[in-house]
Amino acid sequence: MDVSTQVDGRTAIVRPVGRIDGTTTARLEQAITTLVSAGNARLVLDLQQVEYISSAGLRTILMAAKRAKTAAGGLVMFGLQPSVEEVMTTSGFATIVAIVDSEADARRELGD
């Protein structure tokens, strides 16, 4: 999995590509930790290029959301592929972390 990040104004965009599972979550966690530590606690997670997420990936996103909230920010996701959306819905994760349709909606959700 590759992870790219971009800080745009008050919001940081995180774009993982590939699978988010036990062998790749460390890269995602490191990217998010670096952003939040640098004062970028308003996170948009773009999942358009993620075809699979495991329970380890869900745990990483949950920890990221908690870290962002503690730093007076938040985390919003968009662009879920059907298989990823099914995991989020089935696990109840969609009721914990905001999922929206687009990057613009995610920014609005964060108050941007």
> Is pTM beyond 0.85 here?
yes
Q: Which residues pair with 4 in a beta bridge?
A: 15
pLDDT at residue 94, as a whole number: 87
Residues 38-60 have a mean pLDDT of 96
Residues 40-55 have a mean pLDDT of 97
Q: What percentage of the chain reaches a pLDDT higher than 70?
A: 100
Can you give the three-state secondary structure of 54-94, one letter per residue? CHHHHHHHHHHHHHHHHCCCEEEEECCCHHHHHHHHHHCHH
Under a CB-based contact definition with an 8 Å cutoff, are residues 7 and 37 in contact? Answer: no
Q: Domains in the chain and their CATH numbers?
A: 2-109 (3.30.750.24)
Residues 26-34 have a mean pLDDT of 96
pLDDT at residue 44, as a whole number: 98
pLDDT at residue 79, as a whole number: 97
